[in-house]
Amino acid sequence: MEAMIIYLSSCVCLLLLSVLIKFIHKFWWTPICIQSKMMPQGIKGPSYKFIYGNTKEIIRMRNEIMATPMELSNHILPRIEPHVHSWTKLYGKNFLFWYGPKPQLVVTEPDLIKQILNDKEGGIYRKRDLTYFAQKLLGDGLASARGEKWFRQRKIANHAFHAENLKVNACILVNDRCSTQFKLLKNRDAIEADRLQKDIRDSLIEMIMKRENNVSTGELDRYGSDLLGLLMKAYHHEDQTQRISIDDMIDECKTFYVAGHETTATLLCWTVFLLATNADWQDKAREEVLKLFGKQNPSPDSLSRLKTMSMIINESLRLYSPAVAVLRETKSQVKLGSITVPANMDISISVLALHHDPQIWGEDVHLFKPQRFAEGVAKATNNNMAAFCPFGLGPRICVGLNFSMIETKVALSMILQRYRFTLSPTYVHSPVQVISIRPQHGLPVVLHSL
Ligand code: HEM
Confidence of residue 220 (pLDDT cuts 50, 70, 90): confident
CA of residue 43 relative to chain centroid, distance: 25
Buried b (16+ CB within 10 A) or exposed e, 247-273: ebbbbbbbbbbbbbbebbbbbbbbbbb
Whether residue 217 is predicted with pLDDT greater than 90 in this model: the reply is: no
* pLDDT value of position 299: 86
Q: Does ligand 1 come within 6 angstroms of the Cβ of 436?
A: no
Whether residue 287 is predicted with pLDDT greater than 50 in this model: the reply is: yes
Residue 287's contacts (CB-CB under 8 Å, 6 or more residues apart) are none
| Mean pLDDT, the chain, whole residue set | 89
Nearest to 98 by CA among 108, 83, 78: 83
- 34 in a domain, yes or no? no
CA distance 419 to 211: 38
CA distance 105 to 40: 15
Q: Which of 398, 401, 433, 436 to mutate to test the pocket of ligand 1 (most atoms within 8 A of CB)?
A: 398
Q: Which atom of ligand 1 is nearest to the CA of 266?
A: 1
Q: Does ligand 1 come within 6 angstroms of the Cβ of 260?
A: yes
Structural domain of residue 201, as residue ranges? 52-449
Confidence of residue 245 (pLDDT cuts 50, 70, 90): confident
Query: Cα angle at 274 between 268 and 277, to 5 degrees?
Result: 140
Mean pLDDT confidence for 31-38: 93
Confidence of residue 197 (pLDDT cuts 50, 70, 90): confident
Span from the CA of 264 to the centroid of ligand 1 (angstroms)? 10
Q: Which atom of ligand 1 is nearest to the CA of 261?
A: 27
The 8 Å CB, 24+ separation contacts for 232-237 are 232/208, 234/152, 234/156
* pLDDT value of position 1: 74
CA distance 20 to 67: 40
- 7 in a domain, yes or no? no
- 357 in a domain, yes or no? yes
Which residue's C-alpha comes closest to atom 8 of ligand 1?
391
Whether residue 320 is predicted with pLDDT greater than 60 in this model: the reply is: yes
* pLDDT value of position 343: 95
Amino acid at residue number 33: C
Mean pLDDT confidence for 223-247: 85
Q: What are phi and psi of 422, to 5 degrees?
A: -130, 160
* 8 A C-beta contact, residue 289 and residue 306: yes
Nearest to 359 by CA among 334, 337, 384: 384
Higher pLDDT, 252 or 167: 252
Q: Does ligand 1 come within 6 angstroms of the Cβ of 110?
A: no
Span from the CA of 400 to the centroid of ligand 1 (angstroms)? 6
Mean pLDDT confidence for 419-436: 94
- 1 in a domain, yes or no? no
- 113 in a domain, yes or no? yes
Give, in order, the Cα–Cα distances in Å from 197 to each of 175, 218, 257.
Answer: 5, 32, 14
Which residue's C-alpha comes closest to atom 30 of ligand 1?
260
Pairing of strands 125-126, 325-330: antiparallel
Coil vs helix vs strand at 320: coil
Q: What percent of the chain has pLDDT over 90?
A: 61
* 8 A C-beta contact, residue 391 and residue 397: yes
Pairing of strands 102-107, 95-99: antiparallel
Whether residue 177 is predicted with pLDDT greater than 80 in this model: the reply is: no
* pLDDT value of position 185: 45
Q: Does ligand 1 come within 6 angstroms of the Cβ of 267?
A: yes
Span from the CA of 276 to the centroid of ligand 1 (angstroms)? 27
CA distance 170 to 261: 8
Q: How many domains does the chain have?
A: 1
- 345 in a domain, yes or no? yes
Span from the CA of 256 to the centroid of ligand 1 (angstroms)? 8
Confidence of residue 135 (pLDDT cuts 50, 70, 90): confident
Higher pLDDT, 373 or 261: 373
Whether residue 176 is predicted with pLDDT greater than 70 in this model: the reply is: no
Nearest to 254 by CA among 169, 376, 345: 169
Q: What are phi and psi of 340, to 5 degrees?
A: -90, 115
Q: Picking from 41-55, 104-118, 174-188, 356-370, which range would have the lowest pLDDT averaged per residue?
A: 174-188
* pLDDT value of position 194: 79
Whether residue 168 is predicted with pLDDT greater than 70 in this model: the reply is: no
- pTM beyond 0.85, yes or no: yes
Buried b (16+ CB within 10 A) or exposed e, 208-234: beebbeebeeeeeeebbebbbbbbbbb
- 28 in a domain, yes or no? no
DSSP assignments along 363-385, one per residue: TTTTS--GGGGTTHHHHHTTT-G
Q: Does ligand 1 come within 6 angstroms of the Cβ of 257?
A: no
Mean pLDDT confidence for 290-312: 93
Mean pLDDT confidence for 271-290: 98
* pLDDT value of position 183: 37
Mean pLDDT confidence for 308-313: 98
CA distance 349 to 113: 7
Higher pLDDT, 240 or 36: 36
Whether residue 88 is predicted with pLDDT greater than 70 in this model: the reply is: yes
Whether residue 102 is predicted with pLDDT greater than 60 in this model: the reply is: yes
Span from the CA of 401 to the centroid of ligand 1 (angstroms)? 7
Q: Domain of 157: which CATH number?
A: 1.10.630.10
* pLDDT value of position 164: 59
Whether residue 167 is predicted with pLDDT greater than 50 in this model: the reply is: no
Whether residue 90 is predicted with pLDDT greater than 70 in this model: the reply is: yes
Confidence of residue 293 (pLDDT cuts 50, 70, 90): very high
Q: Does ligand 1 come within 6 angstroms of the Cβ of 263?
A: yes
* 8 A C-beta contact, residue 337 and residue 111: yes
Coil vs helix vs strand at 400: coil
Residue 68, exposed/middle/buried by CB under 10 A (0-12, 13-18, 19+)?
Answer: exposed
Q: Does ligand 1 come within 6 angstroms of the Cβ of 389?
A: no
Amino acid at residue number 62: R
Span from the CA of 405 to the centroid of ligand 1 (angstroms)? 12
- 38 in a domain, yes or no? no
Whether residue 180 is predicted with pLDDT greater than 50 in this model: the reply is: no
